[in-house]
Structure 1
Amino acid sequence: MTETPDLSSKRPIDRAARILTEVGAPWVINIATSLVIGLAIGAPGWGIFVAVCTGVVPMSVILFGMRKSTIGDHHVTKISERHALIVVLLTVALGGLIIQILAHAPIEMIAFMSAGLIALVVAAVITSVFHWKVSIHTGVSAGVTVVLALALSPWWLVALVFTPLIGWSRVHLGDHTKGQVIVGAIAGAVATGITYSLIA
């Protein structure tokens, strides 16, 4: 029986793609962005809360699914495994948003959580209704960059350079097509940008 070769033993370009995919994972970016916004607006506690809702809990759910063999890998590359997961993540995000509203969290944090929720709804529609595995990686990358630009400084738009790099890594590793990473980025940026602007 032939074992799947470890990417660490392959070409440098393969290792670079793997690193970009891991560093650009949605849960990683969400945690980092939540903490940055929380610190920037003087509400680090709420930054941690949003980081838990958008990063820690989602990855914990994925790892639990992997343990139960309902999810094959931590990037959830099979579209059939994404439907139930998206429902759980939407529930977590909605619950976190309700808590924020009831506890009078800073409007920036409420807007950020709302933007993420709407972006996830858009991804859910594309995934479940159209049965197309749109890239969450590029959606989150582009989306949080737009939010950071709106919330803190337009200079954050420079970080958009990382979105195509993350998209390249997903295509290179065979997890998405070019169309899926492009649509993911556009959908994420538009959904989060409009939502954040309307609320904040």
Structure 2
Amino acid sequence: MTDLGVQDRRTVIDVTARALTEVGAPWVVNIVASMIMGVAVGAPGWGVFVAVCAGVVPMGVILAGMRRARIGDHHVTRIDERHLLMVVLLVVVLGGLVVQIVAHAPIEMIAFMSAGLVALLVAAVITSLFHWKVSVHTGVSAGVTVVLALAVSPWWLLTLVLTPLIGWSRVHLGDHTRGQVVVGALAGALAAGLTYASIA
């Protein structure tokens, strides 16, 4: 009976970790945050556009890579699969940013996309130059939270509690070390926050 109880507890913990990893996935967080930003600045159409560039297209690229057997899973857990992917995503986000600038999108949405671009660039540099799989999950979670706090309301800082939970899930599932989730969160928050504040 005791062994069964321990097994049940482990199952619950594993399921919780998996749920947090899926809900806190970068593409999910980017879509939700983009829509919130769009509504907050009175430009829901641009919110949809950014959601597509920062969430839908990136996941589409990952799924295409999985179908071609170039990417093993939708969280891209192998570091050697991340290098080219990050370059492709940087090009996608940069293209979206150019469209925003040319079409005179609200400065807040341009700053939001720029913040994501810089945060992704920082993650790419750490991953490629140092060959260290910094957590994009915690980077996006912390970065988006800081930007929403700057752009919408300081109350958004309360949602920072989600970042360590997401980080725990990534460590529990064996996809990252503690250092990788901590550095990811700090890099994402600083890169995104400073970029947004300097533009908006």
TM-score, normalised by the number of residues in structure 1: 0.95
* 2:5 alignment partner in structure 1: none
* 1:49 alignment partner in structure 2: 49
* 2:125 alignment partner in structure 1: 125
* 1:191 alignment partner in structure 2: 191
Q: Which stretches of structure 1, 4 residues or more, deviate above 2 A after TM superposition?
A: none
* 2:17 alignment partner in structure 1: 17
How do residues 129-168 of structure 1 correspond to structure 2 at under 5 angstroms? 129-168=129-168
Q: CA deviation at 1:155?
A: 0.4
Separation of aligned partners in 1, 2:129 and 2:49: 31
Structure 2 stretches lacking a partner, 5+ long: 1-9
Q: Give per-residue Cα distances to partners, 1:29-85, cap 9 Å, x unaligned.
A: 000000001011110000000000000000000000000000000000000000000
How do residues 107-122 of structure 1 correspond to structure 2 at under 5 angstroms? 107-122=107-122
Structure 1 stretches lacking a partner, 5+ long: 1-9
Q: CA deviation at 1:113?
A: 0.3
- Three-state SS of the structure 2 residue aligned to 1:11 is helix
Percent of pairs identical after alignment? 76
- Three-state SS of the structure 2 residue aligned to 1:70 is coil
Q: CA deviation at 1:103?
A: 0.2
Separation of aligned partners in 1, 2:70 and 2:47: 31
Separation of aligned partners in 2, 1:177 and 1:119: 20
Q: CA RMSD in A?
A: 1.2
Q: Give per-residue Cα distances to partners, 1:117-173, cap 9 Å, x unaligned.
A: 000110010000000000000000000000000000000000000000000000000
- Three-state SS of the structure 2 residue aligned to 1:118 is helix
Structure 2: which amino acid aligns with 1:39?
V
Separation of aligned partners in 1, 2:31 and 2:75: 16
Structure 1: which amino acid aligns with 2:164?
P
TM-score, normalised by the number of residues in structure 2: 0.95
Separation of aligned partners in 1, 2:81 and 2:61: 12
Q: Give per-residue Cα distances to partners, 1:10-38, cap 9 Å, x unaligned.
A: 61000000000000000000000000010
How many equivalent residue pairs?
193
